[in-house]
Amino acid sequence: MTREDLKNYKYNQKWIKERLEYIEELKENVTRVTSTLSGMPKSNRKVEDSMAEKIAILIDSLNEMLEKIVEADKKQKMIIEELDKVEQPYKLILEKVYIQGKSLVTVASEMNFGYENICRKHGIALKKFEKSQ
């Protein structure tokens, strides 16, 4: 894992959450359409086949998106595992900044450090994170 991976952690979490919400919406739509189709009287076979094709395409898209989400989630877990290898207080600093999304000013205040001191420790923490691999 690199610094960039750590820096992108929060953004990736948000992306995963938004994709899951989107998938839930699509699943509701697919369920609604399939239940409507099954309740309709048998008529034109061509219309049913066309709708079935569209639903199949939609389900394939959902599966592809789920695969991407699973891969992103694996990467997120790897970042946390690497972060756990860093000793305190550096791990706490990195977690507050990159996982919780807090500013260095806020972290300095919460940990009772001066801003310059927390900036120095943050730099050390990033180096320790990269070396932990």
Residue 38, token pair as written in the block:
């099954």
Separation between Cα atoms, residue 113 and residue 123, nearest integer Å: 14
Does this model's pTM top 0.85? Answer: no
Q: What is the pLDDT of residues 9-21, one digit of tens each?
A: 888 889 888 988 8
Separation between Cα atoms, residue 35 and residue 29, nearest integer Å: 10
Whole-angstrom CA distances from 44 to 40, 48, 49, 62 are 11, 7, 9, 28
Q: What is the pLDDT of residues 61-80, one digit of tens each?
A: 888 888 888 998 999 899 88
